[in-house]
C-alpha cells in the first residue's frame, strides 16, 4: 500500500523579495499565459531545514535527527576525535586517509570536493571507526599516486587502504536516520550506491494571480557629513512584489519509513516536523528590508492511498482577478477547494483531508475544517495510522 501525504497552502506575502534570481529580482514564471511570482522549491526546503534546527534547539528533535550539508567533514570529524583525546594534527591526517578509503578526497584547503549531505550519526560513526582503527590507518607510498590523474589516484588510494577500515566505513553512509536526508534525498558522486531517493517532493510556489515587478528607490545619508552639504550619499533600487502564493508538497510515507530504516516513531515525528515547517518556515531573502512575515491562511493536508500525487496548481491556470470587497486569499481558497473536489469526483482517491481555513472559504466538500495547526497535524497523523 502506498500512502501519500499532500499539503496545499495559500500564503499571501506583503511586499517582499523572498527568493532572488541572479540579477537580484524576485523569481517569476509564466503560467497560464501570464507572469506569476515564484519561490523556488530549493528556497522552501532550505527554510524547512533551518526550521528543523529551531526544533532541535527547542528539544522537539534531537541533534542526531538532522543532517548537515557541508564541505567541512574533515573539520567535523577532527573535532570529535580531539574530543576523544586524539592529537589534532594527527587526527587530521588520519581522517584524510580514512575518508580517502571510501574515495572522499579532502583537498588542500581541508574541504571536500563537493558538498556532502551527511547525518550527524554518520559523521559521529566515521569518527568512532577512525578512533577504533587508529593504528591501522597508515599513509600509502607517495610514489603509488605520483603522476597519476586525480580520479585514478583516488581509486588507488581506496584500493590500498586497510580492507577492514574500508568495510567498516562503507557501512556508515546509510543516511544516519537524518530526517532531512530521508525527506529530501541526496547524491554522493563518489558513492552512487549510497545515494538516497527523496521521500518528499516540493513544488515551486507560484502566485495565484498575475504579478508585475515593482521598484523601490532608496537613498542613504552620511550621518557625519557637514550640515551644509546637501544630497544623498548612496542611492539605488530594489525590486519586489506582493503575491498570494499557492504552495504544494507531497510525501511518500512508506519511502520515508524505509529511508529512516523502519523507525516508525521517528517517521511520525518527521511528518509532523515537515508539515509544521512547511506551514511556518519562510524564505529569508530581503526580510531585513521588507519583514514580510505572513503565515498561510489556508492549509489543507490530505492523506490518500494507492493513488497518484495531485498538484492543484491548475486551479489558478486562469489567474485570480481581484473582486471588490473580497480578499485575494479568499478567492484563491474558493478556487482551490473547487479544483480539489472536482478532481476527487473525476479520479477518485479522495482519502482524508483536513483544512485550516482562516479565510472562511466554502470548502465545497473538500475536507473537514480544523481550528488550529496543531489539530491539523494530529488529525493527519491519525489518518496515517488508520
Q: How confident is the model at residue 157 (pLDDT cuts 50, 70, 90)?
A: low
- Return the half-sphere exposure (C-beta side, CA atoms, 13 A cut-off) of residue 289: 15
Question: Who has greater pLDDT, 250 or 230?
Answer: 250
Evaluate if residue 284 carries a pLDDT over 60: yes
For residues 110 and 92, give the distance between their C-alpha atoms in angstroms, rounded to a whole number: 9
The pLDDT assigned to 312 comes to: 98
Burial class (CB in 10 A: 0-12, 13-18, 19+), 46: middle
**What are the backbone angles phi and psi of residue 159, rounded to the nearest 5°?**
-65, -35
User: How sure is the predictor about 221, in pLDDT bands with cuts at 50, 70 and 90?
Assistant: confident
Neighbours of 385 (CB within 10 A): 9
- Helices assigned H by DSSP within the chain: 41-58, 73-83, 88-100, 120-132, 150-159, 163-170, 179-184, 253-259, 264-280, 287-290, 328-347, 373-385
> Worst-scoring range by mean pLDDT, 137-151, 163-177, 332-346, 355-369?
137-151
Tell me the pLDDT band of 110, cut-offs 50, 70 and 90.
Answer: very high
CA dihedral sign, ordered 374, 336, 332, 35: positive
The domain limits of the chain are: 3-58+199-210+241-385, 68-177
**What pLDDT, on a 0 to 100 scale, did the predictor assign at position 145?**
47
- What are the CA-CA distances from residue 228 to residues 220, 225, 232, 233 (Å)? 16, 9, 13, 14
The cell for 339 is 479544483
Instruction: Tell me the pTM.
Output: 0.91
Spatial distance between the Cα atoms of 198 and 181, rounded to a whole number of angstroms: 7
Amino acid at each position: 500500500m502506498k500512502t501519500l501525504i499532500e499539503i496545499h497552502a495559500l500564503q499571501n506575502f506583503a511586499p517582499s523579495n523572498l527568493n532572488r534570481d541572479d540579477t537580484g529580482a524576485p523569481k517569476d514564471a509564466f503560467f497560464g499565459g501570464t507572469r506569476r511570482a515564484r519561490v523556488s522549491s530549493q528556497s522552501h526546503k532550505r527554510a524547512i531545514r533551518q526550521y528543523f534546527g529551531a526544533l532541535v534547539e527547542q528539544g522537539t528533535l534531537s541533534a542526531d535527527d538532522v543532517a548537515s550539508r557541508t564541505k567541512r567533514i574533515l573539520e567535523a570529524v577532527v573535532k570529535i576525535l580531539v574530543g576523544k583525546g586524539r592529537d589534532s594534527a594527527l587526527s587530521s591526517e588520519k581522517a584524510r586517509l580514512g575518508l580517502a578509503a571510501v574515495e572522499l578526497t579532502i583537498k588542500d584547503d581541508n574541504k571536500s570536493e563537493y558538498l556532502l549531505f551527511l547525518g550527524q550519526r554518520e559523521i559521529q560513526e566515521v569518527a568512532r571507526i577512525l578512533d577504533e582503527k587508529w593504528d591501522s590507518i597508515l599513509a600509502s607510498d607517495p610514489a603509488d599516486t605520483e603522476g597519476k590523474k586525480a580520479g585514478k589516484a583516488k581509486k588507488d588510494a581506496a584500493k590500498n587502504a586497510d580492507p577492514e577500515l574500508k568495510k567498516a566505513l562503507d557501512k556508515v553512509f546509510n543516511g544516519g536516520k537524518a530526517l532531512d536526508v530521508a525527506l529530501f534525498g541526496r547524491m554522493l558522486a563518489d558513492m552512487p550506491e549510497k545515494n538516497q531517493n527523496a521521500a518528499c517532493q516540493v513544488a515551486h510556489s507560484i502566485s495565484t494571480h498575475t504579478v508585475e515587478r515593482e521598484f523601490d528607490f532608496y537613498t542613504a545619508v552620511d550621518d557625519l557629513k557637514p550640515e551644509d552639504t546637501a544630497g544623498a550619499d548612496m542611492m539605488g533600487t530594489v525590486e519586489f512584489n506582493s503575491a498570494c502564493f499557492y504552495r504544494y508538497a507531497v510525501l511518500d510515507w512508506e519511502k520515508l519509513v524505509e529511508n529512516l530504516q523502519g523507525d516508525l516513531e521517528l517517521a511520525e515525528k518527521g511528518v509532523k516536523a515537515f508539515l509544521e515547517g512547511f506551514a511556518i518556515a519562510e524564505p529569508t531573502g530581503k526580510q531585513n528590508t521588507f519583514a514580510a512575515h505572513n503565515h498561510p491562511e489556508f492549509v489543507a493536508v490530505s492523506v490518500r492511498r494507492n493513488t497518484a500525487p495531485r498538484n492543484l496548481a491548475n486551479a489558478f491556470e486562469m489567474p485570480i482577478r481581484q473582486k471588490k470587497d473580497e480578499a485575494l486569499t479568499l478567492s484563491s481558497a474558493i478556487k482551490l477547494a473547487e479544483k480539489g473536489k472536482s478532481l476527487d469526483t473525476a479520479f477518485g482517491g479522495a482519502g482524508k483531508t483536513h483544512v485550516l481555513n482562516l479565510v472562511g472559504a466554502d470548502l465545497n466538500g473538500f475536507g473537514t475544517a480544523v481550528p488550529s495547526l496543531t489539530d491539523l497535524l494530529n488529525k493527519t497523523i491519525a489518518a496515517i495510522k488508520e
